[in-house]
Amino acid sequence: MRLERFFDLSGRRVLITGAAQGLGAAMAAAFAAQGASLVLADRKIDALRAAAPALECHAYDQSDQRSIEALAAAAGAVDVLVNNAGILARASLLETGGDLLREVVGVDLVGVVALTTLVARGMVDRGRGAVVNIGSQMAFCGAEGRGAYAAAKAGISQFTRTAAVEWGPRGVRVNCIAPGRMLTPMTREVLADPAEYARGLERIPLRRYGDPADVAWVAVFLASDAAGYITGQTVVVDGGWVLG
């Protein structure tokens, strides 16, 4: 078989959340390039439709169980689920009250688990499927002012392992990508500070921040037959940040 056939996703229905911009938009483009049929979801539905006017788009609020259930029902039989939607809040641990903790963990962990279990039921019944969760390098290193986010993303890595063990015998693979600092709208505020930008680069052995495409093609790989014997893994895509 030719190498490119391993990455061919023609005929596969792929649901990507948080697809209006940044990593989600890059992953949508990468999956489309491999022939996938896309279902896109985002809280910013107008921006999503503007970015992908010819594709199936759904309004989606990962903090709302009814929205989660509605998306799972509308998406139907999904071959690949990419859990990218999430929020990032900055607060020291002493300033992280119950409301903020519940908000961040509710979206970044509870919402992901809720959507995945709904979508995975169909995958398990059909005996095939792949889930790609988007975690974070912060699951593996200290992150000042990001305690709630780091805890939620660490939970995503462990959820990935548990789901892989439970669903593997039924033909469903579950993996996770842990991006480092990417040049996306989510990091724009932090990286707008020249001093912070320079400090961050010093932490990265490759001496550059990530591009969304760096994550997008790893997601395609994990969803494809090329990764057919890989499950339960978290792939860190951070230029080497966690090594230091």
pLDDT tens track, the chain, 244 positions: 565 677 999 999 999 999 999 999 999 999 999 999 999 999 999 999 999 999 999 999 999 999 999 999 999 999 999 999 999 888 888 888 889 999 999 999 999 999 999 999 999 999 999 999 999 999 999 788 889 999 999 999 999 999 999 999 999 999 999 999 999 987 887 888 899 899 999 999 999 999 999 999 999 999 999 999 999 999 999 999 999 7
Residue 197 annotated among the catalytic residues of the structure: no
- β 56-59/13-17 pair status: unpaired
Distance CA 222, CA 111 (A): 22
- Greatest Cα pair distance in the chain: 56
Catalytic option among 60, 149, 209, 229: 149
Q: Which domains does the chain have, with CATH numbers?
A: 3-235 (3.40.50.720)
| CB of 78 closer than 8 Å to CB of 122 | yes
Q: What is the helix (H) or strand (E) element at residue 102, kind and residue range?
A: helix 98-105
pLDDT of residue 138: 94
Residue bearing tokens 């494809």: 224
- CB neighbour burial string for 91-112, b if at least 16 within 10 angstroms, e if fewer: beeeebeeeebeebbbbbbbbb
Residue with tokens 């910013």: 44
